[in-house]
Amino acid sequence: DAKTTQPPSMDCAEGRAANLPCNHSTISGNEYVYWYRQIHSQGPQYIIHGLKNNETNEMASLIITEDRKSSTLILPHATLRDTAVYYCIVRASQEYGNKLVFGAGTILRVKS
Amino acid sequence: DTGVSQDPRHKITKRGQNVTFRCDPISEHNRLYWYRQTLGQGPEFLTYFQNEAQLEKSRLLSDRFSAERPKGSFSTLEIQRTEQGDSAMYLCASSLVGARYTGELFFGEGSRLTVL
């Protein structure tokens, strides 16, 4: 699976959009981009995933560049409860259920 | 059944003792994963099962570690002769592989091990 690069930490004001970047320049055609987050003392939680089109669900939006070498997770109105570590993961072939390989992630601190 | 459950949530043991963790996945899920997480790091893959078959083991899974999923439902992770370096959070996750697969893994709250 391709490696990802994320900033180690970011701050965001409560109520503002949080934009979390991820670089995955070696991504290949069959690899999906997944985002998970981990709130302190809890297990990771799935947020969203995509292949090449932008995706949106009730939690977040995922913007993938046309060349697929980077993506951005957007939390449109961050709250204090969104403070967590956010992991960007590239994973091949969703049909086969390959394991997730986590990096260090980005610590997002939402401040009032 | 509302999610993946792990037991115990916390375990403190002395070096050299054996410990066992249990994971109950979401009932219809056929795939089960074990991860280990140390402070400040992302979860590290240990092993996974498809039903009762153990399909992959990480190099991190030394011979002191053994995982089973005897009936394709719950799983156990045993650590023999614990060492202080085994202190970590042990996370279990499950997923449904097949026609309804979405790629999502559902994680439990983890079992925190402290080896004194």
Among A4-18, A97-111, B23-37, B79-93, which is the least confidently predicted range? A97-111
Which tokens go with B73?
Answer: 């439902």
DSSP 8-state assignment for residue A79 = -
Q: Compute, in degrees rounded to 10, the torsion defined by CA atoms A64, A69, B96, B33.
A: -130
Q: Name which of B104, B82, B91, B92 is nearest B37 in CA terms.
A: B91
Q: CB neighbours (10 Å) of residue A69?
A: 14
Give yes or no for residue B1 having a pLDDT over 60. no
- For B82-99, b where at least 16 C-beta lie within 10 A, e where not — what string? beeebbbbbbbbbbbbee
Q: Which of chain B's residues have a Cβ under 8 Å away from the Cβ of A60?
A: none
Summarize pLDDT for A51-67 with one digit per residue, the tens. Answer: 998 999 999 999 999 99
Q: What is the mean pLDDT of chain A?
A: 92
pLDDT of residue B102: 67
| Residue recorded with tokens 């070096």 | B15
Mutate to test the interface with B, among A100, A101, A102, A107 (most CBs of B within 10 A): A100
Which of B33, B37, B104 to mutate against chain A (most A CBs within 10 Å)?
B104
Number of continuous H segments (helices) and E segments (strands) in chain B: 0, 11
B28 φ, ψ (degrees, to nearest 5) = -90, -5
**Rounded Cα–Cα distance for residues B33 and B48 (Å):** 4
User: B46-72, pLDDT tens digit by residue?
Assistant: 999 999 999 999 988 889 999 999 988
> In this predicted structure, what is the pLDDT of residue A96?
56
On whether any CB of chain B is under 8 Å from the CB of A95, the answer is: yes
Instruction: Flag if A96 and B97 touch (Cβ within 8 Å).
Output: yes
CB contact under 8 A, B43 and A102: yes
For residue A43, the chain B residues in CB contact (below 8 A) are: 4, 91, 93, 107-110
The reported pLDDT for the residue numbered B97 is 77
Q: Does A97 score more than 90 pLDDT?
A: no
Share of chain A above pLDDT 90, in %: 79
Dihedrals φ, ψ of B40, to 5°? Answer: 85, 0
Q: Which of A43, A49, A87 sits opposite B42 (nearest CB)?
A: A87
Give the CA distances from residue A78 to residues A21, A25, A86, A112, B18, in Å, rounded to whole numbers and listed in that order: 15, 28, 13, 10, 43
Spatial distance between the Cα atoms of B107 and A100, rounded to a whole number of angstroms? 12
Quote the pLDDT of residue A102. 92
